[in-house]
Structure 1
Amino acid sequence: MSYNSRITGVGSYVPPQIYKNSDIEEMMDTSNEWIIQRTGIEQRHWVDENTSTSDLALEASKIAIKDAGLEASDIDMIVFATLSPDHDFPGTGCFLQAKLGIEDVTAFDIRQQCTGFLYGLSMADKFVQSGSHKNVLVVGAEVHSKGLDKTPNGRAVSVLFGDGAGAVVVSRTEVKDKTKDPHIMTTNLHADGSYAKELWVAAPGSAVGPDRMSHALVDEGLHFPFMNGKTVFVHAVKRMAETLMLSCKEMGVGIEDVDLFLFHQANLRINSKVAEVLKIPEDKIFNTIQKYGNTTAATIPLGMHDAIKANKLKKGMLVASAAFGSGFTWASGLWRY
């Protein structure tokens, strides 16, 4: 027997400390005008020294579980998307499981960076459809601030990223009318590893010499992220537009039928260009990059929660989402909220 799934709960959390562009101008030898012009970012949230990725995830998860009308004990799987884990191992999903106080629940991490949430949503949907699980917690959470080069050497990348967490509960549902009933309609996942080194962190790792980490690697700055911005921009626009069209075609809907677009928030210029290519009206796109920067795997659920609170996302709406990131990976999804 095959089942359907739907998003029953949404939650998010960002650390309280805000860093406006003016707060990092001297730190990185940049300017508010430069950052806004090139990215659209006005501020970001960064954690204090004692806060971890699973701490942020816990707060977002509690809100999502409550929004779904469930208890933590009702969750039977955790899918945790992050590139900034609490520790190298075990997976951060295990730390989150313990903090939620639930035992003997499937928990695994996925490393799909900016597309992590959509990859996780697709996995949750498939597990629920199979009948093996009823309520899956999908979390995207990141603490970027502890891994950024906050000097002028790193400004091209470091101004982009913020910390935060978003979570949804994906639950089994019955769909009688596919044109009205809330459910996840489709997801499409893609990757092209030939571009892996255009956006990556080289160290630590098993491919960098005799040691996973060394003073020499640190001295070279290989533990900080590197990005070929122009290549990422071109591919992001192309791939996000392609996969959005694919998801809509699969479900027999047009771009014009979508009520709200929740794009990954990497750069406001990318989202504007995708909208231009697909002729999407600005009032159908909900952007949060100006407030949070790029929170990678947390971005889409964080934006979803903000859209709900702003009354931009309402029950029954048709939602389309797309993301592009390191790997290269890209993904899209279509669901009725």
Structure 2
Amino acid sequence: MLYQTKIAGLGKYVPENIVTNDDLSKLMDTNDAWIQERTGIKERRHIKKDDGNSTAIMGVKAAKIALERANVSKDDIDLIVFATLSPDYYFPGCGVQVQELLDIHTCPALDVRNQCSGFIYGLSVADQFIKTGMYKNVLLIGSENHSGGLDMSTRGRGVSVIFGDGAGAAVLTRSNHIGEGILSTHLHSQGKHALELALKGPSTMHWVPEIIEDQKSGKIEDIPYYPYMNGQFVFKNAVQRFSEVINEGLQHNGLEISDIDMLIPHQANLRISQFIQKKFKLSYDQVYNNIERYGNTTAASIPIALTEAWEEGKIKSGDKVVLAAFGSGFTWGSAIINW
């Protein structure tokens, strides 16, 4: 017997520390108008060193809200799926940290490293486990601490102005009602463009002895320790893949664009969302964006936006909700949900 997977509870957490475009202009050669014109971002949240936050801890804060709203006990969680590109440690992953911080005696924990598409990839994984009956309740988290790894100078402004910190979580559970919940997920990748949006180091390609030697010799500036993005190339591919994977999901379920009640795209750049909205001829009420407040929070962006849209009453029972993401890898995906 195949079960349906429904979202039973949602939660989000963002640090209290607000970093405006004007704040960034004091660190690099930029200004509010330049950033808003290119990205639509007005501010983002950054962790402070003394605020007690980390990728795992923010995930736990979002998860506690989602669990309470789902009316699901932590002890009823059968699987934790944690999506991030910025784990607290190189290893172990954040999933086991969440298990410990939530005081769950034992359960499997799985970490997903698909960057901006991480939440949708994690959603697809959780959906398969629930559909087949292996697990009943899955805790899915997307969380990111970008701020500690950004080049906050003029040299890095093309990337550093975009990203923010935060976490979102969803409790997924079994439903016996046919046609309720997640209708389908659709995943893709194209690895030949992997280095167009990447963080090459530190890595096992340039490991501890080399890093130490670079520090001693003063060559540290030549090593790519900050993210690289070929912005125009990424934008061009993003708008193409967003369109394709949204249409793929709709066609798979016999739906039309007019059936979309709410589209929640990964919050990479407001210009990408606006392009898709215009192409699909969707109204502002049919597309949810919050990038102007949080920037790009990578694996956390969709669950944060989904939580806010639900909190604001913009998603109701029976609505057709479409999630879509594109990012490093290149990876992209969509999910079609009957709320």
TM-score normalised over the length of structure 1: 0.96
Residue of structure 2 in register with 1:48 after alignment: 48
Aligned-partner residue type, residue 19 of structure 2: Y
Task: Assess, with a 3 A threshold, how the Cα gap between structure 1 residues 21 and 255 changes in structure 2: closer, same or farther.
Answer: same
| Structure 1 spans left out of the alignment, 5+ residues | none
RMSD, aligned α-carbons: 1.3
- Tell me how many residue pairs correspond in the alignment: 333
Residue of structure 2 in register with 1:191 after alignment: 189
Task: Assess, with a 3 A threshold, how the Cα gap between structure 1 residues 252 and 205 changes in structure 2: closer, same or farther.
Answer: same
> Is the 1:236–1:325 contact (alpha carbons within 8 Å) kept by the matching residues of 2?
yes
CA–CA separation in structure 2 for the residues paired with 1:221 and 1:323: 30
TM-score normalised over the length of structure 2: 0.96
> Is the 1:205–1:212 contact (alpha carbons within 8 Å) kept by the matching residues of 2?
no
CA–CA separation in structure 2 for the residues paired with 1:9 and 1:210: 42
Structure 1 position 310, deviation (Å): 1.4
Range that drifts further, 134-143 or 301-310 = 301-310
Residue of structure 1 in register with 2:273 after alignment: 271
Structure 1 position 219, deviation (Å): 2.1
CA–CA separation in structure 1 for the residues paired with 2:213 and 2:155: 18
| Structure 2 spans left out of the alignment, 5+ residues | none
CA–CA separation in structure 2 for the residues paired with 1:293 and 1:100: 28
Instruction: Pick the aligned partner of 2:205 from 204, 207, 226.
Output: 207
Structure 1 position 169, deviation (Å): 0.7
Secondary structure of the structure 1 residue equivalent to 2:27: helix
Residue of structure 1 in register with 2:104 after alignment: 102
CA–CA separation in structure 2 for the residues paired with 1:290 and 1:175: 37
Secondary structure of the structure 2 residue equivalent to 1:47: coil
Alignment of 1:68-107 (within 5 A): 68-107=70-109
Q: Which runs of 4+ in 1 moved over 3 A?
A: 208-215
Does residue 18 (structure 1) correspond to residue 18 (structure 2)? The answer is yes
CA–CA separation in structure 2 for the residues paired with 1:215 and 1:241: 46
> Is the 1:206–1:212 contact (alpha carbons within 8 Å) kept by the matching residues of 2?
no
Structure 1 position 275, deviation (Å): 1.6
Task: Assess, with a 3 A threshold, how the Cα gap between structure 1 residues 147 and 252 changes in structure 2: closer, same or farther.
Answer: same
CA–CA separation in structure 2 for the residues paired with 1:91 and 1:286: 30
> Is the 1:77–1:107 contact (alpha carbons within 8 Å) kept by the matching residues of 2?
yes
Instruction: Pick the aligned partner of 2:254 from 243, 252, 255.
Output: 252
Aligned-partner residue type, residue 172 of structure 1: R
Structure 1 position 210, deviation (Å): 8.1
> Is the 1:204–1:212 contact (alpha carbons within 8 Å) kept by the matching residues of 2?
no
Alignment of 1:229-308 (within 5 A): 229-308=231-310
> Is the 1:142–1:164 contact (alpha carbons within 8 Å) kept by the matching residues of 2?
yes
Secondary structure of the structure 2 residue equivalent to 1:66: helix
Structure 1 position 208, deviation (Å): 3.3
Range that drifts further, 198-207 or 76-85 = 198-207
CA–CA separation in structure 2 for the residues paired with 1:307 and 1:273: 20
Secondary structure of the structure 2 residue equivalent to 1:331: strand
Aligned-partner residue type, residue 77 of structure 1: L
Percent sequence identity is 44
Secondary structure of the structure 2 residue equivalent to 1:224: coil
Secondary structure of the structure 2 residue equivalent to 1:223: coil
Structure 1 position 274, deviation (Å): 1.4
Secondary structure of the structure 1 residue equivalent to 2:236: helix
